[in-house]
Amino acid sequence: MSDPIRSTRIAIVGGGLSGLYAAWLLERRGLRDYLLIEARGMLGGRILSVDAPECRPAPTDDRFDLGPTWFWPDHQRALHELVAHLGLRRFEQYETGDMMVEPAPGRPPVRMRGYASSPASFRLVGGMGALVERLRRELDPARIVTGQAVRRLGLASSHIALHSEEADGCVATLHADQVLLAVPPRLAEQAIAFTPTLPRALAESWRQTATWMAPHAKYLALYEAPFWREQGLSGEGRSACGPMGEIHDASMPGGSAALFGFLGMPAATRRGMTDQALRSLCRAQLVRLFGPRAATPKAEFFKDWAQDPYTATAADQLAPDTHAAAPWSCAADGPWRGRLSGIASEWSPHFPGYVAGAIEAASLAVQALQG
């Protein structure tokens, strides 16, 4: 079954930060003939903030990130200015005190002098989801479609035909003059069929670009109080034992105390374990590092991005733990030239894979549309 064909000047494929920011920029410039299409049932993409249990169902500032967490105002000026313009509150990552280190399997944890990041890293009150929500509130809801995964892009003489599919199999077609791809390059190259095909070098550069967050998993534990701070600890941890390799204080000012960690075990290993088993291992590790009070969080969350079909591909399961260099964002020649541009964070020249990269890549593409 197919829906009637809609038409628009600009189609934005993806409702993560880059897609939302591109839509926000278009509206501020008076370009309201666009449509944003998101495959998930919710907006945000790799930005995912969860509420403390006592705050449900109404969202509050007591929210915590399972996706990207930090930004660096000192050198990510455009993001810093956007945060200020939207009236969002920021705070510096807590790093006061000693850190705990597990140097090797079979050896007890070691307390070591902590260190502060330079430049300082910051978080948003309400999590990065506050940025997504604030942008969403300023957009025309009639210009946003969720729950539709774009599967094919076909270039005709007068338009680009976007064919999307809903979970129930219903197919929708949209005609657009130009397309902004707000999905990771590797995912776009694999999940979307292009007719005619993309230039070989362009497609290969997208295929070889690792997606940030795709191989990662995060564990988050909420507590009534930051008891580790009472011990003179920062909440920072590093471990050669696992399951988490890196741990940080995730407490929200005026809200819940929290610790979160990135799991160090490969995606393939995690896939063979239940979420319950992984959570149990993470709790046990927090007890080893921070004491028995860590054994009873008031809530815990786990997100494995490697299992998210709208983030990761098979190639991302073994991706290196680094930010990839930005690939080409558009075709230099051929039929797709001037009709299609990548705007996800990985296409950012200066901050590929970072939250700030989504802002930069979207800004450059919208500027090019007006140029």
All residue ranges of the chain with pLDDT < 50 are: none
Q: In this predicted structure, what is the pLDDT of residue 2? A: 58
Q: Is the dihedral of CA 91, 93, 98, 100 positive or negative?
A: positive
Kindly report, as residue ranges, where domains of CATH 3.90.660.10 are found in the chain. 49-127+215-307
Q: In this predicted structure, what is the pLDDT of residue 106? A: 87
User: What CATH class has 1-47+128-212+323-371?
Assistant: alpha beta
Kindly report, as residue ranges, where domains of CATH 3.50.50.60 are found in the chain. 1-47+128-212+323-371
- Output b/e per residue, 291-305; b: 16+ Cβ within 10 A: eebbeebebbbbbbb
Which residue's entry shows tokens 């809903």?
Answer: 166
- In 182-228 the beta strands, taken as DSSP E runs, fall at 193-195, 217-223
| pTM for this model (two decimals) | 0.94
Q: In this predicted structure, what is the pLDDT of residue 262? A: 97
Q: Give 181-208 pLDDT, tens digit per residue.
A: 999 999 999 999 999 999 999 999 999 9
CA distance 323 to 180: 22
Kind and range of the H or E element at 131? helix 129-137
Instruction: Tell me which of 1.10.10.10, 3.40.109.10, 3.90.660.10, 3.90.45.10 is the CATH number of domain 49-127+215-307.
Output: 3.90.660.10
CA distance 72 to 77: 8
CA distance 10 to 283: 47
- The DSSP line for 246-284 is EEEE---TTS-EEEEEEE-S-HHHHHTS-HHHHHHHHHH
Residues in the chain: 371
What is each CA distance from 352 to 13, 91, 193, 360, in whole angstroms?
18, 23, 24, 9
Q: In this predicted structure, what is the pLDDT of residue 136? A: 97
Q: Give 308-346 pLDDT, tens digit per residue.
A: 999 999 998 875 666 778 999 999 999 999 999 999 999
- Output b/e per residue, 307-318; b: 16+ Cβ within 10 A: ebebbbbebbbe
CA distance 33 to 6: 12
Q: Estimate to the nearest angstrom the gap between the alpha carbon of 352 and the chain centroid.
A: 12
